[in-house]
Structure 1
Amino acid sequence: MKKLTRMLAALVGFGCLALSLTACGSRESLSKQDVLTNDRASNTITWGVKAETKLFGLMDVKDNQVKGFDVDIAKAITKKILGKNGQAKFVQVTSQTRIPLLKNGNIDAIIATMTITPERAKQVDFSDSYFDAGQSLLVKKGSPVKSVKDLNKPGVKVLGVTGANSVANIKKFAPKAKVLELSDYAQAMTALKSGQGAALTTDNGILYGMAVQNPGYTVVGGAFTKEPYGIAINKGQQPLKDEVNKALEEIQADGTYNRILKKWFGNVAGFDYKEAAR
């Protein structure tokens, strides 16, 4: 029995090794493919977008379509790269899943309120910035919290989203506060409403969208960081990155960018549309 057990273990181990090598080979093969060439052949670019972030990417339950600023920018870029008949396909991502999905080849690019940071740039390549956000705070109207300084006290809880750059930032600006991380903004908003935190923190553009959905809450404190959003592309995909940057320049030059910006942010209370326009 002991001999049989050893033989079975050896066979299982060999099988796992074979599967591991096969998986590695698949990933290596994928990394060597030219995404832009594949996209042109299929006439489709697959984008990772958020589906729970008002103004940038939110699922419309009426038609099950994700809609928002990021989605419209992705569509405009797709048309510039592939032509008027080019198709933009959208895959839902979160702050935690977006890079793994890109690395695995499930999506071609990420356009999902993703701040360009040196740490992330080690994993992915970024396009030029397409939206200049800044981190701020969302609180219940009448809250004593007026700025990030008001959070820097022992026992104060601040709500954030796992994988978001804002979590690391709040630990720098309010080190005495305790940060409670949720999986997405919907859960973070629910936590704020139930009193689990004194404030919810992330980029101001996202917070303005949450304030629109929740009139009893307001954005305070101004922007205490600079958070330029970029489109993330896999390492080694320079042709696609070049085309994305070229398309960004074109939609800014021909007025498409400002039309999309005005569509989503032109009437948002507190948002300076003219300052953000390009």
Structure 2
Amino acid sequence: MARRTRHAALALIPVLALAATMTACATKVNNGSSGDGSNIALVQSGKLVTCTHLSYKPFQYSEGDKTVGFDVDLVDLVAKDLGVTQEIFDTPFETITSGTSFSANQCDVAAAGMTITEERKQAIDFSDPYFEASQALLVKKGSGIKDLAGLKGKKLAVQQDTTGEKYANDNAAANGYTVVQFEDLPLMETAVRTGAVDAGINDNGVLFDYAKEFPDTEVTAEFDTGEQYGIGVKKGNTALLNKVNEVLKKAKDSGEYDKIYEKWFGKKPESK
């Protein structure tokens, strides 16, 4: 997914004030994968802090007082390998993709259903891809809207700072619709369901999940954008990046990844 901007300045005020304190209590974790004596430094003792932007169900969302989801379970594997526990830090998406969250010591990793793009790779480093996605179109059931061309003269909702927003803007002139921005995914989905907009575009995984929960909506089109998600780390944090890649590979080789995938999507990933 791609995403956001408005609360960035407000979010950073307390973060910058705490940055020095968090750095002071950083914990050194032996990076056993490299064998060269390098260490992984965590921003909080005994924790692997993950930046994300809630809610992005089923990748990460709140369930009671816990944050759960596909991404959460994958990062839990990394935390377990390091001998620490995962802690979620909810922050505006653009503070993740810009690298601000890492430079302010908000988190160690970022897992947010986040598409790897060349622009984002200038600000943060990405793990090996762990999930494939495409853009999809969410509409009210029975709307008759089957594609972007069917939106001529209508309103298409997007989530700010997402690859869906970019795809919508790139195709707006040719299809004659108006793009309407929303701060987060739930607001965008609700706007479609209530008829405030005619359709919404976002990653296929989250929209199929929403349509399953709310059968008065449906996904009528997918667009082959060839996107891949990655777990983000601070630029140049090679030791932690290597550990994340090591754990992801181990999970895929052992079948643990398939089990987590089936838990959240109801089926095993397609074989390549």
TM range (shorter): 0.7 to 0.9
Identity of matched residues, %? 31
SS at match of 1:70: helix
Render the CA deviation track for 1:151-176: whole Å, top value 9, x for unaligned. Answer: 3x2x3211011111210111123333
What RMSD over aligned residues (CA atoms) do the two structures have, in Å? 2.5
Render the CA deviation track for 1:93-119: whole Å, top value 9, x for unaligned. Answer: 343343432332111111001100111
1:71 corresponds to: 72
State how many pairs are aligned: 239
User: Any conservation in 2 of the 1:95–1:162 contact (CA below 8 Å)?
Assistant: no
Query: What is the rounded CA distance, in whole Å, between the counterparts of 1:95 and 1:181 in structure 2?
Result: 14
Q: Which structure 1 residue ranges, 5 or more long, are not aligned? A: 1-22, 268-272
State the 1:150 CA deviation. 2.4
Match of 1:90 among 60, 64, 88: 88
2:8 corresponds to: none
Greater per-residue strand proportion:
2
User: Any conservation in 1 of the 2:193–2:217 contact (CA below 8 Å)?
Assistant: no
User: Any conservation in 2 of the 1:141–1:218 contact (CA below 8 Å)?
Assistant: yes
1:17 corresponds to: none
2:40 corresponds to: 37
User: Any conservation in 1 of the 2:139–2:193 contact (CA below 8 Å)?
Assistant: no
Are 2:46 and 1:59 equivalent residues in the alignment?
no
Match of 2:50 among 47, 51, 69: 47
Residue pairs, 1:109-188, within 5 angstroms: 109-151=109-151, 153=152, 155-175=153-173, 176-188=176-188
Greater per-residue helix proportion:
1
User: Any conservation in 2 of the 1:134–1:227 contact (CA below 8 Å)?
Assistant: yes
Render the CA deviation track for 1:223-268: whole Å, top value 9, x for unaligned. Answer: 331221111111121111111111111111111100000000016x
The letter of the residue matching 2:78 is: I
Render the CA deviation track for 1:74-110: whole Å, top value 9, x for unaligned. Answer: 1012223x1xx42111112343343432332111111
The letter of the residue matching 2:177 is: A
User: Any conservation in 2 of the 1:53–1:209 contact (CA below 8 Å)?
Assistant: no
User: Any conservation in 2 of the 1:157–1:198 contact (CA below 8 Å)?
Assistant: yes
Query: What is the rounded CA distance, in whole Å, between the counterparts of 1:93 and 1:250 in structure 2?
Result: 29
Higher alpha-carbon deviation: 130-139 or 216-225: 216-225
User: Any conservation in 2 of the 1:49–1:71 contact (CA below 8 Å)?
Assistant: no
Query: What is the rounded CA distance, in whole Å, between the counterparts of 1:40 and 1:188 in structure 2?
Result: 33
User: Any conservation in 2 of the 1:136–1:221 contact (CA below 8 Å)?
Assistant: yes
State the 1:60 CA deviation. 0.8
2:10 corresponds to: none
Q: Which structure 2 residue ranges, 5 or more long, are not aligned? A: 1-15, 30-38
Q: How high is the TM-score relative to the length of structure 2? A: 0.79
